[in-house]
Structure 1
């Protein structure tokens, strides 16, 4: 739908389209856009492959936020693999009813989407107004700080209510907390990376997406053995403790993110 209904806004692409049209109209193949660096297709492909990797390895903001996003994404799929066993064996859900247990994550994700969509831009405008009208990418992070508290809370609630065989709604409420926090974290990090890296935003997003997909594919493989050894309580608590350790991350980048970017600790220009 975005491809069909949204207009192109990227300056390089717009000028490239205009240049191609002028070449065709004038018959002059030497016309070039002022933004055209003369990069060949082979070089562009190399840049597209190398730059995200370089940012993931050498940009602290990209690497740490991508790692946190990947962990949360991995937690989601790990719970996906654990929930059928939990609700079938411990709560005697039928195979048809087990699918309803995912409504907690779905509902929480929808709530997180509404919260992030309704508060992200107004919060940036509010903080910019307090700062003399100057907007900073770091103004996207306060909402993430709140979400980082919700995620471990949801994990602990899910794990220990499942361990103690509490009412079935309580683990589902725990997963809804995870859904709320997960979507807010994803939205905040994605928009922050776009605002912080502008021209290289696509590379930053690509780096986080690759890492997230890898962790999402591999982490659930350890879920069965982990819950078998530690149980739902301590098994999920391990995940919660790791998530809790990341709570200071948005606070640190809110305070020092601009300084980290301005010091140019890494070079993304290949």
Structure 2
């Protein structure tokens, strides 16, 4: 997480060619995500923990918090993969369509 936060300004200014002022606006989304995550994670993490704790004679164990981690990790990784896959597919389709304008349908079928 710290690596991402430290390289975020470089990504925005050097790679995306945004000014420092515009590039720093991207931190608003990070802050908003952290704010929403605080309440969402509290709700999704604490309730199952309390249920497991009640089943174990009011003795909570740290392992009771791990099921949410496994679900969220799989969901997020699938979501990132799906986004990357769809962007790649859409760009590839438009490239093929623009390159082989007259024979675009045949080119798409070949791809």
TM-score, normalised via structure 1 length = 0.26
SS of 1:118 mapped into structure 2: helix
Q: RMSD of the TM alignment (CA)?
A: 3.3
User: Which position in structure 1 is the counterpart of 2:41?
Assistant: 116
Residues 1:84 and 1:156: Cα distance change in structure 2 (over 3 Å): farther
The offset of 1:112, in angstroms, is: 1.8
**Per-residue CA distance 1:12-50 (angstroms, 9 max, x = gap):** xxxxxxxxxxxxxxxxxxxxxxxxxxxxxxxxxxxxxxx
User: Which position in structure 2 is the counterpart of 1:80?
Assistant: 5
Partners of 1:98 and 1:153 in 2: CA distance: 27
Counting matched residue pairs gives 85
The offset of 1:114, in angstroms, is: 0.6
User: Which position in structure 1 is the counterpart of 2:93?
Assistant: none
**Greater mean alpha carbon deviation, residues 147-156 or residues 92-101:** 147-156
SS of 2:25 mapped into structure 1: helix
TM-score, normalised via structure 2 length = 0.53
Q: Gaps spanning 5+ residues in structure 2: where?
A: 89-111
1:124·1:139 contact (CA, 8 Å) conserved in 2?
A: yes
Is residue 139 of structure 1 aligned with residue 64 of structure 2?
A: yes
The offset of 1:115, in angstroms, is: 1.4
Which residue of 122, 125, 134 corresponds with 2:50? 125
The offset of 1:156, in angstroms, is: 5.7
Partners of 2:29 and 2:69 in 1: CA distance: 21
User: Which position in structure 2 is the counterpart of 1:148?
Assistant: 73
Q: Gaps spanning 5+ residues in structure 1: where?
A: 1-75, 165-270
The offset of 1:96, in angstroms, is: 0.8
The offset of 1:105, in angstroms, is: 2.2
User: Which position in structure 1 is the counterpart of 2:26?
Assistant: 101
**Per-residue CA distance 1:43-63 (angstroms, 9 max, x = gap):** xxxxxxxxxxxxxxxxxxxxx
1:88·1:94 contact (CA, 8 Å) conserved in 2?
A: yes
1:125·1:135 contact (CA, 8 Å) conserved in 2?
A: no
User: Which position in structure 1 is the counterpart of 2:106?
Assistant: none
Residues 1:93 and 1:154: Cα distance change in structure 2 (over 3 Å): farther
The offset of 1:152, in angstroms, is: 4.1
SS of 2:37 mapped into structure 1: helix
